């Protein structure tokens, strides 16, 4: 398993070139931020957030029983269930916490109602998994006005909200590393012709994972063909290619011998991934030599679609997330090429670690980035054995929650 140092180094690959020379001129990439397709890209010159009023520091009503109001987007998916269960376990381990869990069922109005209830109850801190990024920002402002700090998880909300931070895996970063790996697997002797399945267009996590995949492929193709693109150049090119894909349904980057013939929604499910991959293969099955899937379940659906046309093992499938145990088994067997590390258990535990640091250890969280991303990490045939957890209760991979880093620490 990677150490904190190695994980941090992986994350810093996305902050590229943060030294004095870079400070003189900012790369065009960062002019597009914030953007729904760039969640996880770290601006090495990001602005401080210390001036934003976040209801910190916060003195709990009863230091021996800190009350957390938690509004979760859904419990209809194993990933989100594990977020909540992991938080409960960590809270019990720490002792002296009460978590009031409410479920929004994907309805922004329910999230807002949960905030109103938590404010009325006078909880010590609110945790939100946003159903709507703009709505969550408005909700958070009401809470902070009432003296209650707000921590987000899973999806970075709108920057107008006074959030302490957001705890999540790195959507773009994991996609980027998976894209590099996939392009290396294909090699420079073949053109890459891909089909893409995405959870849904418009969702920040979805768009950023796919943009990361495209950007990673661009970066590796640049290396293979000596095109001279820096990491940031490749990220910008991948971002622009994703915009072409989003508006036009396809793109062909001739210089890098990289084409995407179509994009289909998969709703983050195996069934959706199967349907999306079937549609892509129906029109381009004779040309596609790499399927790009946003998450494990859509990737598994793509594997079934590929098998159904008699091409099992002939079209590799690369995923940007999540690292469920079933996906690890498929990586180990060679059926799935790569996936990204996005553990619901690590996310839920990470939220509780941050809360405990703030309320019990005196951590000054007033200048954290809006997104406190876990370092980018992928799971491949080369490292999967080290990431399979002997604890069968863990539906994901082995993990460590990395330290939370302030903006000055990130800027170095």
CA 314 – CA 312 distance, rounded (Å): 5
Q: What is the pLDDT of residue 371?
A: 96
Q: How confident is the model at residue 202 (pLDDT cuts 50, 70, 90)?
A: confident
CB neighbour list of residue 339: distance below 8 Å, 6 or more residues apart: 178, 296, 299, 318, 319, 320, 321, 322, 323, 327, 328, 331, 378, 379
The residue-averaged pLDDT of 68-76 equals 96
- Label each residue of the chain as H, E or C: CCCHHHHHHHHHHHHCCCCHHHHCCCCHHHHHCCCCCCCCCCCCCCCCCCCCCCCCCCCCCCCCCEEEEEEECCCCCHHHHHHHHHHHHHHHHHCCEEEEEEECCCCHHHHHHHHHHHHHHCCCEEEECCCCHHHHHHHHHHHHHCCCCEEEECCCCCCCCCCCCEEECCHHHHHHHHHHHHHHHHCCCCCEEEEEEECCCCCHHHHHHHHHHHHHHHHHHHHHCCCCCCHHHHHHHHHHHHHHHHHHCCEEEHHHCEEEEEEEECCCCHHHHHHHHHHHHHHHCCCCCEEEECCHHHHHHHHHHHHHCCCCCCCCEEECCECCHHHHHHHHHCCCCEEEECCHHHHHHHHHHHHHHHHHCCCCCCCCCCCEECCCCEECCCCHHHHECCCCCCCCECCCCCCCCCHHHHHC
How do residues 15-47 score in pLDDT, each as one tens digit?
Answer: 444 444 444 589 999 999 999 999 999 999 999
Where is average pLDDT lowest: 122-126, 128-132, 191-195?
Answer: 128-132
Instruction: State yes or no: pLDDT of 152 exceeds 70.
Output: yes
What's the chain's average pLDDT? 94
Q: Which residue has the tokens 């210390």?
A: 50
Q: Which residue has the tokens 């807002």?
A: 112
Closest CA to 71 of 58, 59, 57, 87: 87
Instruction: State yes or no: pLDDT of 1 exceeds 70.
Output: no
CA-CA distances (angstroms) from residue 125 to 16, 146, 164, 220, 352?
34, 11, 10, 43, 11
Instruction: State yes or no: pLDDT of 234 exceeds 90.
Output: yes
Q: What is the pLDDT of residue 125?
A: 99
Q: What is the pLDDT of residue 127?
A: 99
Q: What is the pLDDT of residue 5?
A: 40
Q: How confident is the model at residue 192 (pLDDT cuts 50, 70, 90)?
A: very high
The residue-averaged pLDDT of 301-320 equals 98
At CA 86, angle to CA 84 and CA 89, rounded to 5?
Answer: 110
How would you classify the pairing of strands 251-253 and 258-265? antiparallel
How do residues 8-22 score in pLDDT, each as one tens digit?
Answer: 444 444 444 444 444
Instruction: State yes or no: pLDDT of 92 exceeds 50.
Output: yes
Q: What is the pLDDT of residue 25?
A: 83
Q: What is the pLDDT of residue 260?
A: 99
The residue-averaged pLDDT of 87-96 equals 98
What the chain holds in terms of domains, given with CATH numbers, is 66-169+343-375+390-411 (3.40.50.2300), 171-340 (3.40.50.2300)
The residue-averaged pLDDT of 112-123 equals 99
């Amino acid at each position: 398993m990677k150490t904190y140092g190695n994980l941090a180094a992986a994350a810093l690959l996305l902050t590229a070139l943060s030294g004095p020379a870079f400070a003189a001129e900012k790369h065009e990439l960062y002019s597009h931020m914030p953007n729904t397709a760039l969640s996880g890209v770290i601006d090495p010159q990001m602005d401080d957030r210390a001036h934003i009023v976040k209801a910190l520091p916060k003195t709990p009503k009863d230091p021996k029983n800190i009350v957390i109001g938690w509004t979760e987007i859904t419990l209809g998916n194993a990933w989100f269930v594990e977020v909540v269960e992991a938080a409960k376990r960590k809270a019990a381990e720490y002792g002296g916490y009460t978590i009031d869990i409410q479920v929004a069922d994907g309805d922004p109005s329910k999230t807002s109602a949960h905030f109103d209830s938590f404010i009325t109850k006078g909880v010590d801190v609110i945790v939100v998994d946003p159903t709507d990024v703009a709505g969550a920002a408005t909700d958070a402002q009401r809470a902070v006005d009432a003296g209650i700090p707000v921590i987000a998880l899973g999806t970075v909300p709108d920057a107008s909200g006074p959030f302490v931070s957001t705890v999540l895996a790195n959507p773009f970063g994991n996609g980027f590393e998976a894209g590099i790996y996939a392009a290396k697997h294909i090699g420079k002797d073949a053109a890459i012709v891909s089909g893409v399945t995405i959870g849904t267009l418009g969702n920040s996590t979805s768009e950023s994972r796919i943009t990361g995949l495209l950007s990673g492929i661009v970066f590796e193709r640049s290396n293979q063909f000596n095109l001279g693109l820096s990491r940031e150049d490749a990220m910008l090119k991948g971002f622009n290619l994703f915009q072409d894909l989003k508006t036009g349904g396809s793109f062909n980057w001739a210089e890098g011998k990289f084409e995407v013939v179509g994009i289909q929604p998969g709703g983050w499910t195996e069934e959706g991934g199967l349907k999306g991959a079937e549609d892509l293969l129906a029109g381009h099955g004779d040309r596609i030599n790499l399927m790009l899937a946003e998450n494990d379940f859509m990737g598994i659906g793509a594997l079934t679609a590929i098998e159904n046309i008699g091409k099992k093992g002939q079209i590799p499938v690369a995923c940007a997330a999540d690292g469920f145990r079933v996906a690890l088994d498929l990586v180990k067997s060679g059926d799935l090429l790569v996936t990204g590390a996005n553990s619901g258990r690590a996310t839920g535990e990470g939220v509780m670690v941050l809360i405990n640091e703030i309320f019990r250890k005196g951590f000054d969280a007033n200048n954290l980035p809006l997104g406190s991303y876990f370092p980018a990490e992928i799971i491949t045939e080369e490292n999967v054995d080290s990431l399979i957890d002997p604890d069968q209760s863990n539906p994901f991979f082995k993990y460590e929650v990395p330290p939370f880093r302030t903006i000055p620490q990130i800027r170095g």
